[in-house]
Amino acid sequence: MARRTDASAGTPATVALTSAGIAYTAHAYEHDPRAAAFGLEAAEKLGLDPARVFKTLLASVDGALAVGIVPVAMQLDLKALAQALGGKRAEMADPSVAERKTGYVVGGISPIGQKTALPTVLDETAILAETIFVSGGRRGLDLELAPDDLLSVTGGRYAPIARER
């Protein structure tokens, strides 16, 4: 089932997937501290199509935090995220709030195993891939899993929330 490497041992994301019985593969890479775009760095270092690598972003929707997961080469459409969650307005969350609520550092925020369970929306383009990649809970670690499994473990849903840069 789950393939585990020393690099993935012990992140809340891998623990959550293992305890839920969800199959995943951990992919570690050497993170460059100078990298500006963490998700694009992961795609490049792992030799992946950026359309299969997703970034986890936190936003405030009508004052409540929510998670938007979109392909790394695209942007989160805040209006679409608000609409997907039945809200009127969304704005990006303050990075320090995102770190405090998730228990992860920016650039390593996984949608899985967050300290506080938040409403989660995965961009519908994930349906096109058999597996997608999301942060494993630290910079330099991505987890590969089926998009439906990601939604199962996060209690999330699909919606069209990504837009071109």
pLDDT tens digits along 37-86: 889 999 999 999 999 999 999 999 999 999 999 999 999 999 999 999 99
Question: Is the CB of residue 58 less than 8 Å from the CB of residue 65?
Answer: yes
Of 19, 47, 16, nearest to 120 (Cα)?
Answer: 16
9 confidence band (pLDDT: 50, 70, 90): low
- Global pTM reads 0.93
54 vs 110: CA distance, rounded Å: 10
Per DSSP, the three-state class of 123 is strand
C-alpha distances in Å from residue 54, one per residue of 41, 107, 112, 131, 162: 12, 12, 13, 11, 11
Question: Is the CB of residue 127 less than 8 Å from the CB of residue 163?
Answer: no
